[in-house]
Amino acid sequence: MENNEVLGSKGLLKKHEFVRILIQCLYSLGYKNSASCLEQESNISCKSSDFEFLEKQVLTGDWDSSLAVLDRVFDDSRDDSRRNTALYLVLKQCLSEYLKRGETSLALSVLQKQAQVFRVGREKIHMLAFDVITSKEMEPGEVDSCLVQDLRRRLLAELEKLIPTPVVIPGRRLEHLVESAVMNQIDTCMYHNSWDAVSLYEDHRCGRDQIPSETVQVLVAHKNEVWFVQFSDSGKYLATASSDCTAIIWKVLDDNEVELMHTLQSHQNPVSFVSWSPDDTKLLTCGNAEVLKLWDVETGVLRHTFGNNDSVFTVSSCAWFPDSTRLVCGSSDPERGIVMWDTDGNEIKAWRGTRIPKVVDLAVTPDGESMITVFSDKEIRILNLESLVERVVTEEQAITSLSVSGDGKFFIVNLSSQEIHLWDLAGEWKQPLKFTGHRQSKYVIRSCFGGLDSSFIASGSEDSQVYIWNVKNKKPLEVLSGHSMTVNCVSWNPRNPLMLASASDDQTIRIWGPGKPVR
């Protein structure tokens, strides 16, 4: 008999339910003696009387009683689907055992009786009969009592998942409740950025030491403004592009120090964009007044220049497909459009014509299914490359850059109106989430997703600072100072949530690491 005693400062927890869940947890953790002692001391059983009775009837093969108690416990339930499934499972076990023992007449009698008594439905009964009769396991033969008991226990385990509360407590209920409470605390923690398990001894709260917010290294190798920076997919490499007409491949060491690996010299004009192949073996470089070039990462050797030696075929942006053998590039010249190539320079597909205006930026989702393109400053087109279904998103202000989240479900665009807009790829949102605080009016500023589950957005800014937001808050979480001129681009290491890189007109690249905890 349950009492009405409650626990907790708010009086919201029923003591009987709380103790019952504690007992279940002890049993699930393997502390059977402790669980049994608590049952005796509290006079509260983990299993309800109805389920204990059902368990006894199933294990002894009393199928009429089993079906009767099931019908009773589901009497107040509105879930006919679960009820019917539970009855079906019991009937199936019952028929299986009769047929295995060669008691065909009994099996037939059960089918006829239960079809009339229970609301299982004629079609369900016919399907059950077919399943049982056609099963090879149901051929008459010697009955293994150990196997029968094992099958009955499996049946009980399945029934536990179907029977409503409070007759049965959902599995691992205490773990679920505690985990839900922890997840709620994590969801409200603006700095959470770790895969590590959290402590239960105190309420969860992270500090700025969980995100990159302090300069740990300054890279000085370019001779002019640095316009682009991007970590490779594995996080083991970093590439930068500069108005000094070079790109540089950097190596990220095991201690997170970054060292120069190759300086790529072949472009005749500023390099404003790079793109890593997903397998980290190849790098693309290009610029608004430059052709597209493919480099070997290991050797730093130029492998191919795209465009059939057409120096006019300038490329503003490019992206890889997941197989690392195909790539796509877009030109600021409307006549050139968008072209898909293989790594040998063979054109696979092209999108040209009046419907393809100037390409500002483009990206391919990590699964390779969609291509996102920014056209003529304000228009975003999302093309499903399999179905060829296209969706158009129009912004009111000029778009300068595009970035896709690591899971491919979201993308962000930087606007010249000093806003960053976050859109969902599926098109379910009518309005974007908006982030403000940084400065952008004259130059191309690039932002990125980063951190645990792409929970953060980072962006450069014309006020020489780096801005970081949690996607749940439109106001900056951190503003990082260190550069002396415009920060053009940022990149968050996809494998290390505590590592961020920024590229600036001050000719340097800053590597940012965890900040000092606030005491």
Nearest alpha carbon to residue 289 among 305, 310, 318, 311: 311
Q: Around Cβ 251, how many Cβ atoms within 10 Å?
A: 14
> Which pLDDT score is estimated for 313?
74
What are the C-alpha distances in Å from 420 to residues 255, 382, 399, 403, 416? Answer: 33, 18, 9, 11, 9
**pLDDT bracket for residue 508 (50, 70, 90):** very high
144 has a pLDDT exceeding 90: no
Print burial letters for 429-440: b (CB count within 10 Å at least 16), e (below 16). Answer: eeebbebebbbb
Mean pLDDT of 160-172: 93
pLDDT tens per residue, range 467-489: 999 999 999 999 999 999 999 99
Q: Around Cβ 262, how many Cβ atoms within 10 Å?
A: 20
**pLDDT bracket for residue 196 (50, 70, 90):** confident
Which tokens is 205 given?
């709260």
User: Which residues, in sequence order, are CB contacts of 37 under 8 Å at separation 6+?
Assistant: none
80-100 helix and 104-117 helix, angle to the nearest 10 degrees: 160
Mean pLDDT of 346-359: 83
Supply the DSSP string of 318-360, one letter for each residue: EEE-TTSSEEEEE-SSTTT-EEEEETTS-EEEEE-STT---EE
Mean pLDDT of 91-98: 87
Mean pLDDT of 355-365: 87
Ranges 28-32, 63-67, 143-147, 290-294, most confident: 28-32
> Which pLDDT score is estimated for 99?
82
> Which pLDDT score is estimated for 105?
80
212 has a pLDDT exceeding 90: yes
Residue 375: φ, ψ to 5°: -110, 140
The gap from C-alpha 60 to its chain's centroid, in whole angstroms, comes to 46
**pLDDT bracket for residue 293 (50, 70, 90):** very high
Nearest alpha carbon to residue 210 among 225, 228, 193: 193
**Element (H or E) spanning 282, and its range?**
strand 282-287
**pTM for the whole structure:** 0.83
List, as own/partner pairs, every contact residues 477-486 make where C-beta atoms lie below 8 angstroms and the sequence separation is at least 24, other chains included. Answer: 477/190, 477/191, 477/211, 478/208, 478/211, 478/213, 478/515, 479/437, 480/213, 480/215, 480/512, 482/215, 482/218, 482/510, 483/508, 483/510, 485/225, 486/443, 486/445, 486/460, 486/461, 486/462
**Element (H or E) spanning 16, and its range?**
helix 15-28
Mean pLDDT of the chain: 90
Mean pLDDT of 225-245: 97
pLDDT tens per residue, range 254-276: 999 999 999 999 999 999 999 99
> Which pLDDT score is estimated for 12?
92
119 has a pLDDT exceeding 70: no
> Which pLDDT score is estimated for 289?
80
Is the bond preceding 497 in cis, omega lying within 30 degrees of 0?
A: no
pLDDT tens per residue, range 401-428: 999 999 999 999 999 999 999 999 999 9
Q: Identify whether the C-beta of residue 337 lies closer than 8 Å to the C-beta of residue 383.
A: no
**pLDDT bracket for residue 225 (50, 70, 90):** very high
**pLDDT bracket for residue 334 (50, 70, 90):** confident
List, as own/partner pairs, every contact residues 57-64 make where C-beta atoms lie below 8 angstroms and the sequence separation is at least 24, other chains included. Answer: 58/90, 58/93, 58/152, 58/155, 58/156, 58/159, 59/149, 59/152, 59/153, 59/156, 61/94, 61/97, 61/148, 61/152, 63/90, 63/91, 63/93, 63/94, 63/110
> Which pLDDT score is estimated for 80?
81
**pLDDT bracket for residue 354 (50, 70, 90):** low
122 has a pLDDT exceeding 70: no
Q: Identify whether the C-beta of residue 221 lies closer than 8 Å to the C-beta of residue 248.
A: yes
> Which pLDDT score is estimated for 121?
61
Nearest alpha carbon to residue 189 among 213, 205, 202, 200: 205
Mean pLDDT of 76-90: 84
> Which pLDDT score is estimated for 288?
78
Query: One-letter amino acid identity for 133?
Result: I
> Which pLDDT score is estimated for 71?
85
**pLDDT bracket for residue 500 (50, 70, 90):** very high
pLDDT tens per residue, range 20-75: 999 999 999 999 999 999 999 999 999 999 999 999 999 999 998 998 899 889 88
Separation between Cα atoms, residue 377 and residue 396, nearest integer Å = 10
DSSP helix/strand/coil, 152:
helix
Separation between Cα atoms, residue 169 and residue 252, nearest integer Å = 50
Nearest alpha carbon to residue 493 among 207, 246, 210, 232: 232
